[in-house]
Amino acid sequence: MEFPIISVANIHSDFDTVSKQLFDAACKWGFFIITDHGITKADEVSELSRAFFDLPMDVKTEKMVDNSAIGYDGGKKLTSFAASEAILFGTPAGGVLGSNNLGAWWDESKRQTVEAFKAECYDLTITMMSGFAVCMGLDRDYFTRIHGHQAPGHTLRSIKYPKFDSRPQEGQLPRLSSHTDWGSLTFVFTKQAGLEIQDPQDRWFHVPVVPEGIVVNIGDALSLWTGRTLKSTLHRITWENLPPDQDRYSMAYFSQPNNSAQLNSLSKSGEIVPIPLTYGDYYKVRYHLTYGAHTDSKTGEKILEDIDPAMAQAVHDLGVADAGSLRSNTLVAV
């Protein structure tokens, strides 16, 4: 079964045909690559991120990631989720411009470039989600009306998987833990190999590198809404495929539903099955399980927030991909 690589050059002029190709790939694999997508700012933002990662550690750690998902995620904060550092640009559209959680290095012009890139990604995710709705016989805005610019917003996470002097102890620090994404659609921009996904037979499969392409995958929320017609697929990076003597750069744009959106599901016959959780509830549980702890940007204190056990149980009961395991990641290097 061939991994889907789909040109979206005609996504507007031949919406139904292209949408059907994307929909089929999303049902079968939950992952695919799109080409001819018209997004222009990826290289510029990638260059900026690389320059940022090259700054001295005390400059990078000046503004640690906060609950608005803006700031630096790295330095002394390595969790058992991933051996990487990242700069996050979350919050609703426009939020990066006025954020006080980015250091002075992120001047007005750089922030505008990031916002322009996020806007390009947003527009394409909206078009693609409209296509999925149409393919399922739903109103064209069935998904997009709950993907406005309200919190938590759509997050761009620019990532560096750095070189290490030696491979961390077995099982201690994965390159990138096997996981599913939480939201609706993720776009990954990278020119480097390393990402593996579960194929339709649940075998690990190496995602090919298409330098100007975007790797797209479905997240848990969109999978739930579609009654799991669209797949939220496990993915990971191992030390074998990205050895310690290599750096790797990627940028992940996460399209997310609004916090207030109910995670209602669809039955096979198209009826709405109520789920007593909002995306905001789901996000909170996944956030704390993934990051284990975060650093308060003002006090520098490590905070491990408790998860409401009833909420955690409700997420567990959903059984979406790895959320079902409720695996908590701990802080491994402080």
Ligand X SMILES: O=C(O)CCC(=O)C(=O)O
6 is a site residue for ligand X (CB under 6 A): no
Residue 6 or 195 with smaller CB distance to Fe ion: 195
85 is a site residue for Fe ion (CB under 5 A): no
Size of the site for Fe ion (CB under 5 A): 1
Of 31-39, 59-67, 120-128, 187-195, the segment contacting ligand X by CB under 6 A is 187-195
Q: Which pair of tokens denotes residue 99? A: 């954020």
- What stretch of H or E contains 251? strand 248-255
Closest to 53 (Cα-Cα) out of 163, 155, 154: 163
120 is a site residue for Fe ion (CB under 5 A): no
Determine contact, residues 72/102, Cβ cutoff 8 Å.
no
Size of the site for ligand X (CB under 6 A): 9
Instruction: Find the shortest distance in angstroms from Cβ 188 to Fe ion.
Output: 8
Determine contact, residues 196/205, Cβ cutoff 8 Å.
yes
- Contact with ligand X (CB under 6 A) among 66, 85, 120, 181: 181
Compute CA 151 distance to the chain's CA centroid, rounded to the nearest angstrom: 15
Task: Assess whether the previous peptide bond of 200 is cis (omega < 30° from 0).
Answer: no
Determine contact, residues 333/293, Cβ cutoff 8 Å.
no
Q: Which of ligand X, Fe ion, none binds 159 (CB below 5-8 Å, type-dependent)?
A: ligand X
Residue 19 or 255 with smaller CB distance to ligand X: 255
- Contact with ligand X (CB under 6 A) among 147, 235, 284, 288: 235
- Contact with ligand X (CB under 6 A) among 91, 125, 144, 250: 250
How far lies 227's CA from each of 30, 175, 320, in Å?
14, 31, 11
Q: Which of Fe ion, ligand X, none binds 281 (CB below 5-8 Å, type-dependent)?
A: none
Find the residue with minimal CB distance to Fe ion: 181
159 is a site residue for ligand X (CB under 6 A): yes
Closest to 131 (Cα-Cα) out of 233, 25, 260: 25
181 is a site residue for Fe ion (CB under 5 A): yes
How far lies 242's CA from each of 165, 192, 193, 236, in Å?
14, 10, 8, 11
**Per-position DSSP letters for 101-141, written without gaps between them:** SS-TTS-HHHHHHHHHHHHHHHHHHHHHHHHHHHHTTS-TT
Instruction: Find the shortest distance in angstroms from Cβ 125 to ligand X.
Output: 15
Q: Which of ligand X, Fe ion, none binds 195 (CB below 5-8 Å, type-dependent)?
A: ligand X
The one-character DSSP state at 278 is B
Between CA 212 and CA 284, with CA 90 as vertex, the angle to 5 degrees is: 120
Instruction: Find the shortest distance in angstroms from Cβ 65 to ligand X.
Output: 13
188 is a site residue for ligand X (CB under 6 A): yes
Instruction: Find the shortest distance in angstroms from Cβ 207 to ligand X.
Output: 8
234 is a site residue for ligand X (CB under 6 A): no
Which residues form the interface with Fe ion (CB under 5 A)? Answer: 181
**Residues engaged in binding ligand X (CB under 6 A):** 157, 159, 181, 188, 190, 195, 235, 250, 252
